[in-house]
Amino acid sequence: MNTKEKKIDAKKIREEVKKTYAEAISRKNLSCCGSLEETCCSVKAKDIGYSEEELNNFLTDPNITTFGCGNPLAYSEVREGDVVLDLGPGAGLDLMIAARKVGPSGQVIGVDMTEEMIAKAKE
């Protein structure tokens, strides 16, 4: 495979990722695994590192989404005043958790390649 073919493949992959996440965020039901009223997503979210407090504080907001990839902040030492950069945050459960940890003296930055995710985060 030559370099040009690799670039084409990377572009196709990027477009497919963007398409998949755009479709996911535009669904009426934003949860990764069913309605937020159902217990399935809460159980799954707990299994991947989210605390009961985090779930109760943030998953009740219809603008907050998670696609169930894990809770990187559960294993970090983020504290008051820090700056957090989240690459591919979607609409932002991890962003909301990070914002609470860094407080008003810190900063949270989310960078996403999907226009639909960015629009949802602005809500």
Number of domains in the chain: 1
Nearest to residue 25, comparing CAs of 118, 121, 117, 95?
117
What is the domain range of residue 28?
A: 3-122
Residues of the chain with pLDDT under 70: 1-7, 27-47, 59-69, 91
Nearest to residue 88, comparing CAs of 54, 62, 117?
117
Can you give the pTM of this predicted structure? 0.65
Nearest to residue 97, comparing CAs of 87, 88, 108?
108
pLDDT at residue 78, as a whole number: 95
pLDDT at residue 27, as a whole number: 66
pLDDT at residue 81, as a whole number: 98
